[in-house]
Structure 1
Amino acid sequence: MLRLTTIGFDADDTLWQNEQFFRMTEDRFVALLGEHGEATEISGRLLEAERRNLGFYGFGIKGFVLSMIETAIEVTKGQVPASVIGEILAAGREMAAHPVQTLPHVRETLEALSDDYRLVLITKGDLFDQERKLAQSGLGDFFHAVEIVSDKKATTYDRIFSRHGDGAGRAMMVGNSLKSDILPALEAGCWAVHVPHHLTWVLEHADEPVGHGRYHAIPDLGPLRGLVQRLVR
């Protein structure tokens, strides 16, 4: 077995809370448009807009806000009041200013691993928002490098781990999204560790790669150090 030298970490909902703020804002948005349709219908229309807009706006708060505005125009047949648009924009600004809430066992795990491995933060989303959250988290000093990317594919991991490590074959990716953090990392040749979060955006859902030799799942980051030690033994 090749020696593990580099460990990549996803950020949102792996190191700190994120999806809960999108859910709270969506609930607020649905309530704003309550007279124009059922909650499930409005949420469904919003999801369709988000899916449609990923190729234009990418992941993160800005694309979410634009999708909410687009959905509001659609469900009101172009009659959405300016006051509602103003509330949507205000909700987006609040999302971009929420305090960072790190998840359990994050700091001690990063601290324990950072002496023996290159740690790389690999995250997608709004550049300013991700930089803000990393700075507020106080975790930046644990990372050898930070990569904020537009999407996560096998080629993304191959490029990053070649740049900041010894290639994908000697790297591990840790994250909460099977679609973005696990499956493409395995395709690139990495080890991949799934740390599920109780809230995961539906567009990040995928089938678990049960039986893959380099795939592991843990309930939170607490057991990660022990897992790494067993793998490199």
Structure 2
Amino acid sequence: MEMNLDSVKVVGFDADDTLWVNETYFRETEERFAELLESFETKNKIDQELFKVEMQNLDLYGYGVKGFILSMIECALQLSNHTISNDTLQEILDVGKKMIAHPVELLSGVEEVLQKLENKYRLIVLTKGDLLDQERKLEKSGLSKYFHHVEVLSEKKEENYQNLLEHLEIDVNEFLMVGNSLKSDVIPILNIGAKAVHVPFHTTWAHELVSKEKEKSTNGYLKLESIKDILDYLKH
């Protein structure tokens, strides 16, 4: 759909899977986790149980790698009836640490977009996850110089966005959010009266999926194949 973005003065960017690769590494780790537990359950069952444990722990640990590691350990103990070896638990810790230490891989076109927009708009990062981990990734990415403000939210719901925009004195009519998740980056933004751009990533965490019916009934946002396509709609 076409969208007039002439009123936009502030552009917010999600981080994971919008600026850089993230979910791919979680999927790879899930594959390795299933291999480590294959003597106890089928891969499908392991995947289901791990997701269940993650959801149970979300309010306690929040989003991010550290909570994911703890959920993997808890799931391994449950599926093995607490017979999992110390060596296997150590390997689970090791694959988790490997995720944290992984180099930041920028998505195609990201820096070009930020370079062209930084002098025309106030650019901010609005992301979920572990504060320390997200700060580390932003620093390693080399992108921090482009942003006026970085906010790591515990959740991305209407109230979170509304409170943040008020705190930063941003007019909702002048705000545009860019992200890969309909659930977190588009729908709540539309509900508070701001504008949104959806740039899907090829892999989406199950928790971020919305039903086909919800997707079809959500209107008023711009869907792009690449973040670079936003340059066709914003001044630069």
- TM-score w.r.t. structure 1 length? 0.94
CA drift at 1:29: 0.6
Aligned length: 228
**Counterpart check, 1:227 vs 2:195:** no
The whole-number CA distance in structure 1 between the counterparts of 2:225 and 2:137 is: 23
**Counterpart check, 1:192 vs 2:190:** no
Alignment of 1:1-233 (within 5 A): 3-206=7-210, 207-208=214-215, 212-213=219-220, 215-229=221-235
Letter in 1 for 2:179: G
The whole-number CA distance in structure 1 between the counterparts of 2:216 and 2:124 is: 23
CA drift at 1:163: 2.8
SS at match of 2:151: strand
CA drift at 1:109: 0.4
The whole-number CA distance in structure 2 between the counterparts of 1:149 and 1:21 is: 21
- 2:165, 2:172 within 8 Å by CA — same for their partners in 1? yes
The whole-number CA distance in structure 2 between the counterparts of 1:211 and 1:48 is: 27
- 1:58, 1:125 within 8 Å by CA — same for their partners in 2? yes
Unaligned runs of 5+ in 1: none
SS at match of 2:155: coil
Identity of aligned residues (%): 43
CA drift at 1:94: 0.5
Deviation sequence 1:76-101 (CA, Å, 0-9, x none): 11111111111111111100000000
Letter in 2 for 1:33: L
SS at match of 2:101: coil
SS at match of 2:70: helix
**Deviation above 4 Å: which 4+ runs of structure 1?**
none
The whole-number CA distance in structure 2 between the counterparts of 1:180 and 1:39 is: 28
Unaligned runs of 5+ in 2: none
Change (3 A) 1:104 1:210: farther
The whole-number CA distance in structure 2 between the counterparts of 1:150 and 1:75 is: 29
Letter in 1 for 2:223: A
- TM-score w.r.t. structure 2 length? 0.93
Letter in 2 for 1:121: V
- 1:5, 1:165 within 8 Å by CA — same for their partners in 2? no
- 1:6, 1:165 within 8 Å by CA — same for their partners in 2? no
Letter in 2 for 1:224: I
The whole-number CA distance in structure 1 between the counterparts of 2:218 and 2:58 is: 31
